[in-house]
Amino acid sequence: MSSDVVINCQRVGKAFQLYKHRNDQLMQTLFGRWKQYYYPHWVLRDISFEVQRGECWGIIGRNGTGKTTLLQLICGISQPTHGNVEVSGRVAPILALGAGFDQELTGRENAMIGGAVLGLRRKEILARLDSIEAFADIGEFFGQPLKMYSSGMQARLAFAVCAHADADILIVDEALAVGDATFSKKCDDYIRKFAARGTILVVSHDLQTLELLCDHIIWIEDGRVAACGRPAEVTAAYRHAFGIPSTFRAAQARAIG
């Protein structure tokens, strides 16, 4: 992989094993060497693209088309059924927020674990704890067990940890809300600042923001690449395919006029 390529996906496919009967999974474990007891459900098929260092890529598509699964493959959370995924650099995956947290541990303790998972040394995490606490802005709950947190507070903590990981690549799944409007703006500001120095891969339904932020957009439809290229061209094709009004373009035209 070229030193300038930080994410390289080549003919990537992902299938999940689905079982029709309750005991089929056990049968697959015991006798799968001789007989297949599941049927594959293909979520992604033959996905290929390269992301250069410093680029921002957007991923669009309808719900259930495989966008989040693709991010999970790139983050190493899941492995492809076929094809290759190569990633160069430290990744901060802002998806499945808080999925690895321990509900019995405090926010501070979970921040330590989360930082370690993202590749930070203990002394590095300790030096950033105050900043993580300030970014999350959850007050005295930072020292309380996570089982006392709301889902929004857990998301704040997870985003705050990712924001302090010194990552080379930021992976963002917009499908996960991260709190109230004030905190969402803080997250948006962080993502925009990161875009000036690092590589970003973001899933979003906000076509207007992607047109402004991204260098390239890839459109996933039924697990395959429907289009890949310049943001304006891909979003225009996507809007046309599903009858989405181009309010952003219309607003621009009115402003110019």
Q: Which of 129, 114, 128, 136 is nearest to 186 (CA)?
A: 136
Beta pairing partners, 84 = 10
Decide if pLDDT at 250 tops 50.
Answer: no
Decide if pLDDT at 177 tops 60.
Answer: no
Decide if pLDDT at 249 tops 70.
Answer: no
- As to burial, measured by CB atoms within 10 angstroms (0-12 exposed, 13-18 middle, 19+ buried), residue 41 is exposed
Decide if pLDDT at 189 tops 90.
Answer: no
- Average pLDDT score over residue span 40-60: 94
- Read off the tokens for 114: 């989360």
Least confident of 15-19, 88-92, 229-233: 88-92
pLDDT tens column, 91-145:
888 765 566 788 999 999 999 998 988 889 999 999 999 999 999 999 999 999 9
pLDDT tens column, 192-228:
888 888 899 999 888 988 998 899 999 999 999 999 9
Residue ranges per structural domain of the chain: 101-167
Question: How far, in Å, CA of 155 to CA of 176, rounded?
Answer: 8
Phi, psi of 56 (to 5 degrees): -120, 120
The pTM assigned to this predicted structure is 0.81
Question: How far, in Å, CA of 103 to CA of 147, rounded?
Answer: 5
